[in-house]
Copies of this chain bind each other. A is one copy, B any other.
C-alpha cells in the first residue's frame, strides 16, 4: 500500500463512535454538576466512572474505550494541551516570583505525606518489610496537576498568586516524585540483591530533570521571539496556531526524554510563549492564540477526564479488608498536603487553598503503586494486592474531592474578603 487507507481499519469508526459518546456524556455530566454548583470536571469524571462500570449491569458497549490505545493517546494530547493553555496564562517571570515558595510547598508536600503514609503502613501492616512501608509513603508524595489546573481554569482563577504557587509546586513535585521513586526502588533492588545503591544515579536523575527545565526556559525565551519574527516572512495562513502547537508538542516530547512527564514540557512551553513574541503574527492573522486553542481543547480535554473516570473500577470499594487502610491512607494523603500551607509565608495568601490544590494524586500515584506491585523483595511483591487496592481508592477519593473543595474554598474566600 502506498497511500493512507480511508476506512480500511475498523478501529476508526469505533473511535469516532467513542468520541461522539464521550463528548456528549462529558457535556451532560458537566451540565449536571454545574447546575448544583460544582466544577464541570467532576461531572466528566463521574460520567466516565458511570460508563466504565456499566458492565456491572451487563452493559459492555463502551468497555473497548478503556483498552483502546488510540483513545489514551487522544486523552494524553488533551491533557498536554490543557497544561499548555494553563502555562500560557502565566509566564516565566511570574513563576520565578513564586519560585522559592513553590519549592518549599513542593518539598513539604513530599515529606509530610510520605511520613504519614509510612506510619499508616507500619500500623496496618506491621508484618511487611521496612521497604514496603517506605514505598507506601512514596505513593503518597506526588501531586497530579491535571485536576487542579482544570478547576482553576474553569473558575477563571489562574491569574491568582496561589494558583501560580500550586502550579509551580506541581512541576517541582514531578521532579521530586521521580527522584523519590528512583531512590526507593534502587534501595529495594539493592536490599534484595545485596548490592549497594549509587548516589550517582539519583544525582543523574535530578540533573537531567533540572537541566531540562533550565535549558528549555533559557533557550526557549531566546528562540521563541526570533522564531515568530522569522515566521512573519512566511505567507501561509494559520502560522501562529501551527507554530505554537509544534512548540508545545516538541517540549512535551523533550520533557519525556529527560525523564519528566510530557505535561511538564507543555506547561513549560506555555510559560515560555508570551504574547510579545508573536504579537505581529497575531495581528496579521487577526488571531488570538487562546481563542484558537480553545476549540481543540474543548474537543480533546474532556476525553482525558472521561477516560480517567472510565478506568476507575468501583469494585475496589467492595473489599472490606482494605477499606480501613484505604480510609487512613486517604486521610494521610489529604492531611499531609495541608502541611504545605506552612510554606506559604506571604501575608494575605490563602494557605488552605494551596493545600487543597496539592491534594489530587491521579495517575502519578497509580503509576507508583503499579511499579511497587512489580518489585519483588525476599520473594514477594513490595506493594501487595490489598495495599494496591487501597492506593487505588486513595487516588479516586483525592481526585474526586478536590474540585468541590477548591470551589468551596474560593467561595469561602470571597465571602471573607467582602
* Residues in B neighbouring A294, C-beta threshold 8 A: 295
Smallest Cβ distance from A90 to chain B, in angstroms?
21
- The count of residues in chain A whose C-beta lies closer than 8 Å to any C-beta of chain B is 84
By the criterion CB–CB under 8 Å, are A16 and B235 in contact? no
By the criterion CB–CB under 8 Å, are A16 and B262 in contact? yes
By the criterion CB–CB under 8 Å, are B249 and A366 in contact? no
Other-chain contact of A261, B7, B19, B75, B77 (Cβ < 8 Å) = B7
Known contacts A16-B253, A20-B249, A253-B17: does B263 contact A6 (CB below 8 Å)?
yes
Q: Does A367 touch B at the CB level, under 8 Å?
A: yes
Q: Does A69 touch B at the CB level, under 8 Å?
A: yes
Compute how far the CA of A146 lies from the CA of B4 in the bound complex, rounded to whole angstroms: 11
A20-32 interface mask toward B, CB cutoff 8 Å, 1 = contact, 0 = none?
1101101100110
A386-400 interface mask toward B, CB cutoff 8 Å, 1 = contact, 0 = none?
000000100110010
Residue of B nearest to A26 (CB): B242
Residue of B nearest to A260 (CB): B7
Listed in ascending order, the chain A residues whose CB lies under 8 Å from chain B are 1-17, 19-21, 23-24, 26-27, 30-31, 34-35, 40, 69-70, 72-73, 75-77, 79-80, 144, 146, 234-236, 238-239, 241-243, 245-247, 249-250, 252-253, 256-257, 261-263, 292-296, 298-299, 304, 307-308, 311-313, 316, 362-364, 366-367, 370, 392, 395-396, 399
Give me 21 A-to-B residue pairs in the complex whose CB atoms sit less than 8 angstroms apart, sorted by A's number. Answer: A2-B392, A3-B399, A4-B308, A5-B366, A6-B76, A9-B73, A12-B72, A14-B253, A15-B73, A19-B246, A20-B250, A21-B246, A23-B246, A27-B242, A31-B235, A40-B236, A70-B70, A70-B73, A238-B298, A241-B298, A245-B299
